[in-house]
Structure 1
Amino acid sequence: MTEVQNEALQRATGDKLKKFNKIRGKEVQPGQFWDLVVLTAVDEDQKFAYELQIKEKLGRKELPFGLPYHVFADPPGSKIGNGGSTLYALQHLEEMYGKALSAFRVILIHAGGFSQRLPSASALGKIFTAVPCGEPLYQMLELKLAMYVDFPVHMKPGVLVTCADDIELYSIPEGDSIRFDSSGFTALAHPSSLSIGTTHGVFVLESSTKLGDSEMEYTTCQQFLHKPSVEKMQGAGAVCRRPESSKAALEEEFVYTDSTYYMDHATSVTLLNMLKEVQPLTCEIDAYGDFLQALGPGASVEYTSNTSNVTKEESGLVSIRQKIFNRLKGTPLNVILLNNSKFYHIGTTEEYLFHLTQDAFLSRELGLLPNAFSVCDLKAQEPPVACVMHSVLHASTVVSPGSVVEYSRLCAGVTVGEGSIVSGCWVDAWLSVPSQTFLHCLSVTRNGRTKFVTVAFGIKDDLKRSVASPADASALRYFAHGLAECAERWGLPPEGGLRFSGDQAACSLWNARLFPLCPDPRSSVTATLQMVGALREGSAVTPPLKDPRRLSLQEALLNKNLADMLRFRKGLFEDILKEK
């Protein structure tokens, strides 16, 4: 991307943030904003968490007023994916609004899931992940609404579908607008390298398309490929070449990849009618791969039986895909090429750290701050920086470059090493958080009383990797150590020392009962840092961890006390306001 393009992107992003800030905490008029904002949740518990946070946000005037904010939970039972969540959300809206829905412009944000790759978002949701900009502090929900602030005015009734853990930035020609006014589907498309195309959806454009230097172009799509190989992209004609005027600064070959899409009301009715035929859903459906692959004149039913990109192949998936294909076949797929745009994914600990502390481009484009709504002495500087959000830090604390501290209280003399995340913690005086450490404190309810569990993992630890039984726990790596070795360092008994919650056939760091249950947040953080320190220093924990009351992250989330976690944040909020 050239310097001119970067400047245009920065200006356009700043303009959107200013527009959203003008309506933040204000009553919006009909036609000025979305008619409905809808979040999806994985279950009723997550739905309750989202509704509680939205209520608090409205109370603090962090969102526009004058419209409903809905949260819809997936039905209990089988995982249904974001495609299934889309279908059930449409069903809920029809039940609530009936024919009136045909006049509404809806934004549907997929926010379900347990966020195993960014555990700080597991308890309260990745759509409520903090972003270091705005006053009061932005979370991903505000950022999504800000980046799409221009869409509703130029959109026919229908549904805009997007996800909670990505950011799309774009600029378009001055005086122009992105219009969602065509029938069928209309998708945003971003120029990407071929390697990125292998992990996203890729558009095969009509052969008549001639790419120019314009920041935005409207076209139609011949076929949609889902996570294709480079060979498949080349064979299908998805690979594009830059105009001569821009080749000097950019890769010559590229593809257009997906992000957010719109469907008009008639199309949503088509999908809703299909759901009525096949429910209850018993398999995961992808709102991108399974819907968009059915579109365009080049679409083929062959994709319905290709399960190479499916994590777990379930009975009924092929049949459901075929029904989707038959329902949507012939539906247009319009594409808006955003030639000066960027797509950022913030769904893992490593991505979160990089984009908030090291990514100079995103920092400039969004105006990210190293010290956002906090009591802290950090000053603006060039990346890599430390990033502190909604936290209270004693003047003597040290937060190393490349680390993020959010919703936390750090006492005198605390040191946070490089490349770490400290979330929701009260860290006692003179303690040190080692480099490359994820540290997160959760309030839990046990036997009717509030307790605290602080989980810690290495930034690169794989929480999803599982083994068949506790006997194989040595294969699980925790801070680069085998889990059996960790148990020995911690003084746990050789037999039965390592236990796992939930499904014993899938033992992982996610459900390993490692973390002490403590009476207050400060002792909880201290106990867990002692465990991590024993691994880093190669010594045993003294005294040994004899207390059997240890929980896994999975259990902590099942027993989380949301009200208490939000109360802790509110206390920080009030202290920060006093200082300001």
Structure 2
Amino acid sequence: MQKAMQSEAQPEILLQRATGERLERFARLRGKTVEPGEFWDVVVITAVDKNQEVAYQKQLSEKLKRKELPLGVHYHVFVDPPGPKIGNGGSTLHVLQCLEEHYGDKWDSFTVLLIHSGGYSQRLPNASALGKIFTALPFGDPVYQMMDLKLAMYIDFPTHMNSGILITCADDIELYNIGPTEFIRFDQPGFTALAHPSSLAIGTTHGVFVLDPSSHSIERELEYGSCHRFLHKPSIETMRQAGAVHEWYDRQLCPSEGDSTRSTEYVYTDSLFYIDHPTAALLLKFYKQMGTLCCEIDAYGDFLQALGPGATQDYAKNTENVTKKELGLVEIREKIFSLLKGLPLNVVLLNNSKFYHIGTTREYLFHFTNDRNLKLEMGLLPNVFSICQNHAEDLGESACIIHSVLSSRCSVAPGSVVEYSRLGPEVTVGTNSIVSGCCISTKVDVPSNAFITTLSMRIDGKVAYASVVFGIEDNLKKKVAALSEAHFLHFFGVSIGQCLELWGLRVSEQLFSGDKTCLSLWTVRIFPVCSSLSESVQVSLGILNSVQNKSPFKLNGFKLLSVEEILHSKDVEDMLKFRQQLYEEISLQKQKEKEI
């Protein structure tokens, strides 16, 4: 068994080589005009509202101007229609309509990459203002962002794909190795999904493929098969009962949970998937008939569960994994099932592949600072496109500095990430913290396990600033339905009620923005509006320190906003201007170093 996978090189080394080759090939395409058929015809990024659309358009324009992307490609940002949230499934349907409106009948011959980047990134707030797809990664010169990585990792796909749409998300990374003469083909009718071997624990939080037994042998790194049934975030018991669990014959190849523990059992989990053009046209016709969507549809759970000969309509009524149980969801699911029933779900089994998610603060910190596997496979660095004078020994390998300028006497502890920031000589950053978009010139201590990002706003025609601070473990998505339940919200591990007493505030309707029956840390008005970047950081860190030290820090003299309101008033141009200033300073310094 696994004849082709027995190689002198370890699977991790093969993965590293394959990733490096794709990155090098993409680097050669940056700023060059690609030939028809050489790359994607269309690349689409989705946005949840007009504000986000503007932010994405500006960043796309900047990247094209700096020649960081291949040219000759149609890049679009398509914003979800106004009204209720429609989820990434609804957004997919809306994109199909936008493509038809833009290109008429031409789109039926296009290869399209669709990247879902709508949403406010409440689990990784440093991506909330400018988007998960523009998250900086710790490698490249200039720094690669998630968009660059996506385009690099999928560089072979368009030339081995029939017209259709490849659908992916903005906050995950797929790495894979296949034979030197092999390619991943997307040329079958219906749906085709990549499948990655994963532990059973990972399977409980992803989609899991129940394969047709005849399509699975694990003899090569790349295999093609068919899926009998798709399970969405199943329990381990459900996986076993459905026949989704397999066993490794070679313990060296089985997936680990980031440590030395290995299980001989595994399942195949999902990442991206492809829809051929006839299927996309079928979905578009359905969307037009529906008119307006009134609830969130999941492109993975609601589309893929309808596919394969073993699919049943039972999932339509199962709302266990639904964040918000909405009227009409069951009916829409039943209609989708009727529409897609009988269509095949083809699977591309990538037996030497890795799937990484960086959509939460914990994942972000671990993968960028302590994940030795990802560092090896992608060549991640502790210090990338930054000025960090005399920091080689101080930073070590477990802190991460991206696109930043640090004074020689500032200190960043292991396990922390600093991005797009300027830190002065008496700044200290504790362990496992995130500092993003900050300018700190005076003596400041950022505590351990803290998150801080400074956002620019335009209020009454003037630029203002607010620094958003939280604990790394704070749950910004947790909601309560009434003011009397506000004490169930925790800020830096402390009940919000206790925090408010320290800050001289009290629970009231005025304390929260938006829907008063849906209260959260996202909508609580506790962040002061300031006139400068530096002042903003100092004041907001005062909020954190007061909670940590149980000492009063009065906020009743400030104009206070919630994260929700700050993002509504965000000034994208000012934030990008700050990043550009850092870019020019770092580039100038690097040029001087080359000349010496």
The interval holding the TM-score normalised by the smaller chain is: over 0.9
Runs of at least 5 residues in structure 2 that lack an aligned partner in the other structure: 256-261, 591-596
TM-score by length of 2: 0.94
Q: CA 1:302 to 1:514, structure 2 compared with 1: closer, same or farther past 3 Å?
A: same
**Structure 2 residue identity aligned to 1:488:** E
Report the alpha carbon displacement of residue 246 of structure 1 after superposing the two structures with TM: 5.5
**Structure 1 residue identity aligned to 2:27:** N
Match of 2:403 in 1: 390
1:352-391 aligned at under 5 Å gives the runs: 352-377=364-389, 378-379=391-392, 385-391=398-404
Question: Is 2:450 the counterpart of 1:445?
Answer: no
Question: Is 2:437 the counterpart of 1:427?
Answer: no
8 Å contact kept, 2:216–2:225: no
1:498-577 aligned at under 5 Å gives the runs: 499-541=511-553, 544-577=554-587
The Cα offsets for residues 284-334 of structure 1, whole Å up to 9 and x where unpaired, read as: 111011111111111112222222221222222122112211111111111
The Cα offsets for residues 46-81 of structure 1, whole Å up to 9 and x where unpaired, read as: 111101110011111111111110011110111111
Match of 2:57 in 1: 51
Report the alpha carbon displacement of residue 497 of structure 1 after superposing the two structures with TM: 10
8 Å contact kept, 1:370–1:379: no
8 Å contact kept, 1:386–1:401: yes
1:33-72 aligned at under 5 Å gives the runs: 33-72=39-78
* 3-state SS of paired residue (2:184): coil
**Structure 1 residue identity aligned to 2:306:** A
* 3-state SS of paired residue (2:189): coil
8 Å contact kept, 1:500–1:507: yes
1:16-415 aligned at under 5 Å gives the runs: 16-243=22-249, 251-377=263-389, 378-379=391-392, 385-415=398-428
Q: Distance in 1 between matches of 2:344 and 2:194?
A: 14
Report the alpha carbon displacement of residue 507 of structure 1 after superposing the two structures with TM: 2.0
**Structure 2 residue identity aligned to 1:463:** L
Q: After superposing the two structures, state which structure 1 stretch, 373-382 or 458-467, moved more.
A: 373-382
The Cα offsets for residues 73-116 of structure 1, whole Å up to 9 and x where unpaired, read as: 11011111100000000110011112111111000000000100
Q: Distance in 1 between matches of 2:296 and 2:327?
A: 10
The Cα offsets for residues 110-151 of structure 1, whole Å up to 9 and x where unpaired, read as: 000010000010010111111011111111110111111111
8 Å contact kept, 1:517–1:551: yes
**Structure 2 residue identity aligned to 1:569:** R
8 Å contact kept, 1:470–1:499: no
Report the alpha carbon displacement of residue 493 of structure 1 after superposing the two structures with TM: 4.6
**Structure 2 residue identity aligned to 1:317:** L
Q: After superposing the two structures, state which structure 1 stretch, 473-482 or 450-459, moved more.
A: 473-482
8 Å contact kept, 1:36–1:67: yes
Q: After superposing the two structures, state which structure 1 stretch, 16-25 or 228-237, moved more.
A: 228-237
Q: Distance in 2 between matches of 1:177 and 1:65?
A: 24
The Cα offsets for residues 220-247 of structure 1, whole Å up to 9 and x where unpaired, read as: 1111111111121111111112235867
Q: Distance in 1 between matches of 2:509 and 2:85?
A: 32
The Cα offsets for residues 526-554 of structure 1, whole Å up to 9 and x where unpaired, read as: 1111221222223223xx33314111111
8 Å contact kept, 1:357–1:385: yes
Q: Distance in 1 between matches of 2:569 and 2:339?
A: 42
Q: Distance in 2 between matches of 1:308 and 1:220?
A: 27
8 Å contact kept, 1:25–1:62: yes
Q: Distance in 1 between matches of 2:376 and 2:459?
A: 45
The Cα offsets for residues 193-218 of structure 1, whole Å up to 9 and x where unpaired, read as: 11111111111111213422311111
Question: Is 2:26 the counterpart of 1:13?
Answer: no
**Structure 1 residue identity aligned to 2:569:** N
Report the alpha carbon displacement of residue 384 of structure 1 after superposing the two structures with TM: 5.5
Q: Distance in 2 between matches of 1:459 and 1:317?
A: 33
Q: Distance in 2 between matches of 1:495 and 1:160?
A: 47
Report the alpha carbon displacement of residue 11 of structure 1 after superposing the two structures with TM: 0.5
* 3-state SS of paired residue (1:362): helix
**Structure 2 residue identity aligned to 1:522:** S
Q: Distance in 1 between matches of 2:509 and 2:188?
A: 61
Q: After superposing the two structures, state which structure 1 stretch, 206-215 or 331-340, moved more.
A: 206-215
Q: Distance in 1 between matches of 2:556 and 2:233?
A: 48
Match of 2:594 in 1: none
* 3-state SS of paired residue (2:139): coil
- One of 4, 14, 19 as aligned partner of 2:10: 4
Report the alpha carbon displacement of residue 248 of structure 1 after superposing the two structures with TM: 8.5
How many pairs were matched up? 577
* 3-state SS of paired residue (2:511): coil
Q: CA 1:244 to 1:464, structure 2 compared with 1: closer, same or farther past 3 Å?
A: closer
8 Å contact kept, 1:201–1:288: yes
Q: CA 1:382 to 1:149, structure 2 compared with 1: closer, same or farther past 3 Å?
A: farther
8 Å contact kept, 2:433–2:447: yes
Q: CA 1:380 to 1:137, structure 2 compared with 1: closer, same or farther past 3 Å?
A: farther
Q: Distance in 2 between matches of 1:62 and 1:25?
A: 6
Report the alpha carbon displacement of residue 484 of structure 1 after superposing the two structures with TM: 2.2
Report the alpha carbon displacement of residue 487 of structure 1 after superposing the two structures with TM: 2.1
**Structure 2 residue identity aligned to 1:379:** A
Q: Distance in 2 between matches of 1:345 and 1:47?
A: 24
Report the alpha carbon displacement of residue 498 of structure 1 after superposing the two structures with TM: 7.5
Match of 2:494 in 1: 481
The Cα offsets for residues 361-385 of structure 1, whole Å up to 9 and x where unpaired, read as: 1011111111111111443899851
**Structure 1 residue identity aligned to 2:546:** A
Q: Distance in 2 between matches of 1:237 and 1:383?
A: 46
Q: After superposing the two structures, state which structure 1 stretch, 371-380 or 295-304, moved more.
A: 371-380
8 Å contact kept, 1:428–1:526: no
8 Å contact kept, 2:394–2:411: no
Question: Is 2:460 the counterpart of 1:460?
Answer: no
**Structure 1 residue identity aligned to 2:328:** G
8 Å contact kept, 2:134–2:145: yes
Q: Please, what is the CA RMSD of the aligned residues?
A: 1.9
**Structure 2 residue identity aligned to 1:451:** A
Q: Distance in 2 between matches of 1:537 and 1:103?
A: 62
**Structure 2 residue identity aligned to 1:395:** S
Q: Distance in 2 between matches of 1:25 and 1:414?
A: 38
**Structure 2 residue identity aligned to 1:440:** T
Q: After superposing the two structures, state which structure 1 stretch, 493-502 or 53-62, moved more.
A: 493-502
8 Å contact kept, 2:436–2:453: yes
Report the alpha carbon displacement of residue 473 of structure 1 after superposing the two structures with TM: 2.9
Q: CA 1:244 to 1:546, structure 2 compared with 1: closer, same or farther past 3 Å?
A: closer
Q: Distance in 1 between matches of 2:458 and 2:546?
A: 28
Q: Distance in 2 between matches of 1:232 and 1:472?
A: 35
